Chain A
Amino acid sequence: MADKIVVADKIVKEFKPNLFMGEAIRIIDGVSFELDREESLAIIGPNGSGKTTLLKILATIYLPDSGTALIDGYDIIKDTEEVRNRISLVSPALDFQKKLTLKETLKFFADIQDSKIDQAFDFLQYMGLMPMLDLRLETFSEGQKAMTRLAIGLMKKPEILLLDEVFATLDFRRREHLIKYLEDYVKGITLIIVDHHSEVVDRLCTKMLLMKRGGSTLKIGSVGEIFERSPYKYDVIAVPKKYMSEEISEGFGYPYMRLGGRVRFFVKNKEEADDLIERMFEWDKFVSFEVSGVSMDDIYWLSMLESAEEERFKKFCTQCGAFIPRDLNFCLQCGYFLD
């Protein structure tokens, strides 16, 4: 039994849009991390940062172009059989044969995983899906399908459970229920989670891997370390009376993030918090604002903000005003070449 349950070393993955010509696109760029037993990792980053591809490499669906990873001491390239015995990937991409019942579906997956169907019953009971055992999956909602995926993943009793946005289609009540189940009942399993919900990361993960677009690592560390390293110690959550434009938000002079109708500002110390509040009073168009110390939730959003920082350098066409991806020097809409 290896000391580290996961050791990923400089993993690189590129995909070619056309197999026989053209440039390869780098999806993952030298990602490394280690996990001790019972540690849990959250992989966070904007769309296109290679989170799901990284999970699929760890799950042995894809082969890395260079670098490798050890799962419980077994190499994901050379010892695929051993690795596959230890992992279970729960992906939203997994759909089902709609004409089969829940029980038939679980039976099939139990047989191929060499597990037992009743190992899923505890979870189904907890999530209230047992009465649906004999119903066909064509009658299931997206949330119920998500639960079915997780039941299949848990049925295998893996050492490492790879969860790819399993919470995405769940309503608040179900999400809370599921987090609690994973907190209370899933012991001794290493979780590697890709998710956009900060409360999922906060409650289920001890470590974070922050990725940025292009698949490179922005930050890696324990939640506490990342918390310590953050230059921002307070946040101010403001609820404006009406829509607050980018210009106005930027005018306050502090990093911010929009979340629905709210704007979350980040400040480094009490002086900056006082300054920001004073400016808010001057603007006088807030329903409310609330100051608090930076929480795990803030760390999550700050990291997202940081990884999206490059987006701030985005360009617009001087001819037609259309957005131009930062890697291009011409407009996709009107073909105008930028200087």
Chain B
Amino acid sequence: MGYFKTLNACTWRYLKIDWRYKFSIVTDAIWTMVTVVAFGTLGYAAGQGNENFVKYQGTNAFIWILVTGIFYWTFFSRPFEESVLAVPEEAARGTLGFLVTNQVSPATMLTGRMVSSVFKFTIIAAAVVYPVMYVLDLRIPPEYLLEIFLILFISMFFMLALVFIVSALTLIVKKIGVIINIFLHSSRILSGFYFPLSNGKESEFGPVAMWIENYLPIARGLVMIRDIVIPEDKGGGISHTAVWEGLEWMLIGTVIALVFAFIFIAKITDLSRKWGTLEFY
């Protein structure tokens, strides 16, 4: 019970802080819009004359791939960055040591930061990205709302596992800007954000690509989101049964990742207490 009270307190604190920095919310929304325009343009240019480029059909197919990728990643890209940066920010503020002495582990604090940040970007995704999807005939069918929610919910916890791992590194390594980008872009590539992994199944890396698409929670999640929102007559469409099966695999992968990440951050937190890096900023 104490854990949830603490988590709740951390989440509310970050929500209040985010709300007070309204200009930052506006710039996040603008940044998301710019990303949609940039990738939309790229998708349009790449799709011309390449109708069979991806498994979906039509000249808009590659735009759909990218815009659905942006929709999915809007929930996690900036929240990932904001959450990882929360550790050095709290340490610089002297709060980290204080929280530790009050039984608040970095993992709890990071979970609060991630949840509040995902909440903020849910609003941005709904306000900025979904209208563009709507114009492009990409719709969330009401009967799939629960499944979409669960895909995003489980994906958030998988990304939280990555946040734990990178944040653990920030407890011992101070300059982590590039490390954040390495993890973020690697995750986006592996999820099939830039290019569907299934397109590479004929290549020599095909088995690996298909394994990743099936078992990496963020890859499976993005594939299912695309199949749900892209019209059935254009190559989209997925049954409820297939989605639930996918959710099971996502859940298993996420639990494994979370357990590993939790042990990792707990061990590194102990090491940082030994090395004295917990508060040295």
Interface residues of A (CB under 8 A from B): 13, 15-16, 19, 53, 56, 59-63, 65, 81, 84-85, 87-89, 91, 93-97, 99-100, 104, 107-109, 111-114, 156
Contact = CB atoms under 8 A, between A and B. Distances in A.
B136 interface: no
Contact of A99 (B20, B274, B278, B279): B20
Nearest to A97: B17
Contacts of A56: 97, 279
B93 A84 contact: no
Given A99-B17, A99-B20, A94 B95 contact: yes
- Tell which of B6, B94, B95, B276 has the most Cβ of chain A within 10 Å: B276
A112 B278 contact: no
Interface in B115-160: none
Contact of B17 (A16, A100, A112): A100
A111 B6 contact: yes
Interface string B1-31: 0100110111011001100110000000000
Contacts of B100: 60-61
A108 B9 CA distance: 6
Contacts of B102: 84, 109, 112-113, 156
Contacts of B97: 56, 59, 61, 89, 91, 93-94
Nearest to B270: A63
Contacts of A85: 103
Given A99-B17, A104-B16, 15 more contacts: A13-B276, A19-B172, A56-B97, A61-B100, A62-B276, A63-B273, A84-B101, A89-B97, A94-B97, A94-B98, A97-B17, A104-B13, A107-B9, A108-B9, A156-B102
A112 B275 contact: no
Contacts of B20: 99-100
B104 interface: yes
Nearest to A100: B16
A80 B259 CA distance: 22
B190 interface: no
B277 interface: yes
Given A108-B9, A111-B9, A61 B101 contact: yes
B5 A114 contact: yes
Contacts, number: 87
A81 B279 contact: no
A103 B5 CA distance: 18
Nearest to B14: A97
Contacts of B278: 61-62
A100 B9 CA distance: 13
A91 B103 contact: no
Contacts of B277: 19
A85 B265 CA distance: 22
A88 B102 CA distance: 8
- Tell which of B5, B8, B102, B270 has the most Cβ of chain A within 10 Å: B102
Given A19-B172, A60-B101, A100 B276 contact: no
Given A16-B275, A93-B94, A114-B5, A100 B101 contact: no
Given A95-B95, A97-B13, A112-B9, A84 B279 contact: no
Contacts of A104: 13, 16
Contacts of B9: 107-108, 111-112
A59 to B, nearest CB: 5
Nearest to A108: B13
Contacts of A95: 93-95
B99 interface: yes
B98 A111 contact: no
A112 B104 contact: yes
A202 B277 CA distance: 34
